[in-house]
Amino acid sequence: MNHEPHDDAKEREWALQEQAFKAERLVLGAADNTKLERYRTVMRALRQPMDDELAPDFAHNVAASVMQCDDMKLELYASWALLAVLAMMLLGVLVRYSAVWMRLASNPWLVALAACVALSGLLGKLWPEHAASRG
């Protein structure tokens, strides 16, 4: 079993939290300890019901408001820039390890496996209704 090393500070904090919980549950008077009073304030706040409840269609409303926002050019440009950086990095990896790729490409079984994986992924993108009905 894993045991955490004994920490007196954590033990004191836990004991203060428990004291605050009990004091709030029993509606005791104020204490002299400021830390205990802070924990009691937290306990009081946790016992209060939430002021506002979210609407049943809250997520739908947020998504609709985001979709109505026409000012998404920055995100589009950032996405294209990231795609360009990733393409350059891929090109760099291909150039750097071209000898390894050529050695792997000389094995016909690996080429056939890569072609099958690529073709199945491509067909899944072209005809998603067939991929969904089979999966």
Q: Parse the chain into domains and list their residue ranges.
A: 9-47, 97-135
Alpha-carbon distances of 132 from 79, 116, 117, 129, rounded to whole Å = 28, 19, 17, 5
pLDDT band for position 130 (cuts 50, 70, 90):
low
Residue 55, sorted as left (phi over 0), alpha (psi -120 to 50) or beta, turns out to be beta
Alpha-carbon distances of 104 from 31, 49, 61, 90, 133, rounded to whole Å = 74, 64, 51, 17, 35
Q: 23 Cβ partners below 8 Å, 6+ apart?
A: 31, 36, 40, 43
Q: Which two tokens stand for residue 127?
A: 């005809």
**Could you give the CA distance from residue 18 to residue 15 in angstroms, rounded to a whole number?**
5
**pLDDT value of position 86:** 95
Whole-model pTM: value is 0.35
Residue 131 has pLDDT above 60, yes or no: no
**pLDDT value of position 89:** 95
Q: What is the mean pLDDT of residues 26-51?
A: 81
- Tracing tokens 């920490």 back to the chain, one arrives at 7
